[in-house]
Amino acid sequence: MKRILSVSVIAVGLLSACGTEENDHKTTPKEKMNPFFVEKYDTPFEVPPFDLISEAHYLPAFREGIKRQKDEIQTIINNEEAPTFENTLLALENSGELLSRVSSVFYNISSANTNDEIQAIAEEISPELSAHRDDIALNEKLFARIQTLWENKATLNLNSQQTKVLENQYKSFVRGGANLPEDKKGRLREINEKISLLTLKFGQNQLAETNDFQLVIDQKSDLSGLSDDLIETAAREAGAAGMEGKWLFTLHNPSVMPFLQYADNRNLRKQIWEAYQMRGNNNNENDNKEVLRELVELRAEKALLLGYENHAAYKLEESMAGTPDEVYALLNRLWEPALEKAKKEAKDLQAKISEGGESFKLEPYDWRYYTEKIRKERYEINEEEIREYFSLDNVRDGIFDLCDRLYGLQFVKLDNVPVYHSEVVAYEVKEKNGQHVGVLYMDFHPRTSKRGGAWMTSYRSQSVENGQRKAPVISIVCNFTKPTANKPSLLTFDEVETFFHEFGHALHGLLSDVQYKSLAGTNVYTDFVELPSQVMENWAGDPEFMKEYAKHYKTGEVIPDALIEKLQRSGTFDQGFATTEYLAASLLDMHYHTTNGKLEGDINTIEREAMNKIGLIGEIIPRYRSTYFSHIFAGGYSAGYYSYIWSGVLDTDAYQAFKETSLFDQATAKAFRENILEKGGSEDPMELYVKFRGAKPGIEPLLKKRGLN
């Protein structure tokens, strides 16, 4: 499942602390040496000056940013005039510009290009940032001004976006503990500080566990079944590690997943699988079991402190779902048909094992291997043949063309902007008339300094300054198959869909057109944020559009109709497995976050009992086991991993709107842009969806799409 990281560090609820102007702060010669201590970056489009930023700049900038925002908050509460939208809410929205600037760079780099020094800085500054957030959220005088505005909102003559900012801020303060008595505020501060450190620790442990394992092969016969490209990449990785003449496989997805899919050596499949599914669970310095236990317990305590039954009830109050019961209702409706289909798939795989003269029982490390054999036989699909039509460049150009045809967007490669790594490429995004929309960075391939997965994030959210749109700076980060010495990067179809997915998130950030940055782009409910990304995936596999971008990397030949037909016929193949492992992870997330007390016993036992309760078969494990479930323990998806399937209901219905007219229908695209992509969090998400589609979506199209009906 694809992952989105949205950086908004010094935020009170949904309100980002990004500002538009620093106060009349006079910079000293020493400060001028720090690239963050400027009114605006002296770079094209005011992108971050990555070439000037070093690790030494972060801590001074963080601390100065905290100091400046404290002064700005003090100015707000010292204002003797009655609170207004401008002197309180807008002033708060515009506070913390320096802090937001350094935070957006630091936390994006810590995910995409980290090192030991950056990780140490993160640990050092985390308690200070947590305390600063609480100083704002628990500031009684500041809350009193906001509460006054809230109680008198009917007389303020606010427009719809201003009303939304007020609503978000008021709820944010209440949910942040503003109404708690002093003794409970003190405990809340302690909890928040611990949670910030634990989430950081979880992610660092996971990255270390992923990087620490190496499967080194020195016998060529053990490479049986693997593609030439994968073998070549493994040889290059081994050479880079000082092991010439050997082959090195890692736990990064472009290495481990094709190994599990194609390697004939079952013992080696088991070895790499065990390492993969035991990450953070090895009773070493990187073990995550006690980290997640404490996280779950602290989240539960915080929810109870704030008056909620559990963490899920607290989180879901600000979601389309609204309550844990609604989430369970959706997940349970899908669980039974998905599990039944998965059981049938397991029987097919067991039969394939027997057909080969073997008698062993199907295990999780066998699933992908035998699924691939059945896929080839049943649909005559060869994954390696498919990849030859999906070079990274062709897929990128296809996405650019799609965005042009739908929204009139143009992408111009930039060679004059600084980047944070040599592999990163940057583009200016423009309207068809040449008007600047934003800047887009793309970072495609795995490295030890980058965490796994794929995500979209921003270095600057869209806003309005002096009546003019301030353009966003957006980034998508992926871990796609690397090029070889003789071939460009050739993507699996799953990677193709991931590219389309993350680009959908990027469009949500780039096309944002709201008045206030706290409402911009992906500042929406978690279970709505996946709609723009998942709807884009539909074009990736549509036969009509595929013929326009899927071209052989050598000959330029358009993908044959016969191959497209095979892909179409196999569309619901293995969807029992895919849906079941996803739903299992979603239900595991809900299991942890609907507790209201201690987690008794061993974490592995707790996980196993939770999966036994829902009837998960032994041949499948949750997509993310507890100790490497970074979405919920190191990211923003706690009690929210269900969001992908919730948004799946929306995106399936939304794409149908295009199918009912044409894939590139301008009126439909305009409606989607104006009601979804441009609006951010400025209105209720279901109201926005109904404005686009004309009605609420049903679940039936999703069931049909996944073959679960």
Mean pLDDT of 491-510: 97
The whole-number average pLDDT for the span 303-311 is 97
State whether 396 and 516 are in the same domain. yes
469: Cβ–Cβ under 8 A, 6 or more apart, which residues?
Answer: 462, 463, 513
Looking at the structure, tell me whether residues 423 and 550 fall in a common domain. yes
For residue 584, tell me if it sits in a domain: no
Query: CATH number of the domain that 676 lies in?
Result: 1.10.1370.40
Instruction: For helices 364-379 and 253-262, give the axis angle rounded to 10 degrees.
Output: 70
Averaged pLDDT score across all residues of the chain: 94
Do 251 and 168 sit in the same domain of this protein? Answer: no
The gap between the terminal CA atoms of the chain, to the nearest Å, is 22
- Counting Cβ atoms within 10 Å, is residue 239 exposed (0-12), middle (13-18) or buried (19+)? middle
Write down the pLDDT at residue 4: 33
Q: Are residues 111 and 229 in the same domain?
A: no
Q: Is the pLDDT of residue 111 over 50?
A: yes
Give dist(CA 521, CA 16) in Å, integer: 12
Please say if the pLDDT value at position 440 is more than 70: yes
512-527 residue pLDDT tens: 999 999 999 999 999 9
Cβ proximity of 399 and 506 under 8 Å: no
For position 597, what pLDDT does the model report? 78
Chain segment 11-54, per-residue pLDDT in tens: 333 223 233 233 334 444 444 589 999 999 999 999 999 999 99
- 377 located within any domain: no
In terms of domains, do 481 and 553 share one? yes
Residue 2 pLDDT > 50:
no
* Domain identity same for 144 and 227: no
For residue 32, what pLDDT is reported? 58
Residue 370 lies in a domain: no
pLDDT-above-90 percentage for the chain: 92
Question: Domain limits at 263?
Answer: 213-277
Contact 370/269 with Cβ under 8 angstroms?
no
Residue 432 lies in a domain: yes
Tell me how far apart the alpha carbons of residues 422 and 191 are, in angstroms, rounded to a whole number: 39
Which residues are part of the catalytic machinery?
502
Residue 479's pLDDT is 97
> CA angle, 107 as apex, 50 and 40 as ends, to 5°?
45
Indicate whether 442 belongs to any domain. Answer: yes
Q: Judge if 429 and 553 occupy the same domain.
A: yes
Cα separation, 655 vs 664, in Å, equals 11
Instruction: Tell me how far the alpha carbon of residue 477 is from its chain's centroid.
Output: 10
Tell me whether residue 321 is in a domain. no
Beta bridge partners of 438: 429
Residue 197 domain-assigned?
no
Are residue 94 and residue 225 in the same domain, yes or no?
no
For β-strands 473-477 and 436-443, DSSP reports them as parallel
Q: What is the DSSP letter of 580?
A: H
* Rounded mean pLDDT, 267-276: 98
In DSSP terms, which residues pair with 470 in a beta bridge? 463
What is the model's pLDDT at position 7? 30
Among the three residues 229, 244, 277, which one is the final residue of a domain in this structure?
277
Same domain, 240 and 171: no
Which of 179, 200, 234 is where one domain is finished?
Answer: 179
Mean pLDDT, residues 184-190: 97
| Between 3 and 309, residue with greater pLDDT | 309
Residue 382: pLDDT band (50, 70, 90) is: confident
Is-contact 640 315, C-beta < 8 A? Answer: yes
Does the pLDDT at position 649 exceed 80?
Answer: yes
Q: What's the mean pLDDT in 153-163?
A: 97
* Mean pLDDT of the 158-164 span: 97
Same domain for 430 and 496, yes or no, is yes
Contact between residue 306 and residue 314 where contact means Cβ atoms under 8 Å apart: yes
In a domain, 346, yes or no: no
Answer whether 286's CB lies under 8 Å from 205's CB: yes
Lowest mean pLDDT among 3-12, 153-162, 317-326: 3-12
Residue 230 identity: L
- Residue 23 is predicted with a pLDDT of 36
Q: What's the total number of domains in the chain? A: 3
Of 179, 204, 233, the domain-final residue: 179
> Do 400 and 527 reside in the same domain of the chain?
yes
CA distances in angstroms from 651 to 320, 373, 491, 643, listed in the order given: 14, 31, 24, 12
Residues 144 and 91 in one domain: yes
Q: What is the pTM of this model?
A: 0.93
Q: Are 73 and 424 in contact (CB under 8 A)?
A: no
What dihedral angle (degrees, nearest 10) is formed by the CA atoms of 90, 94, 95, 101?
Answer: 160
- pLDDT value, residue 10: 28
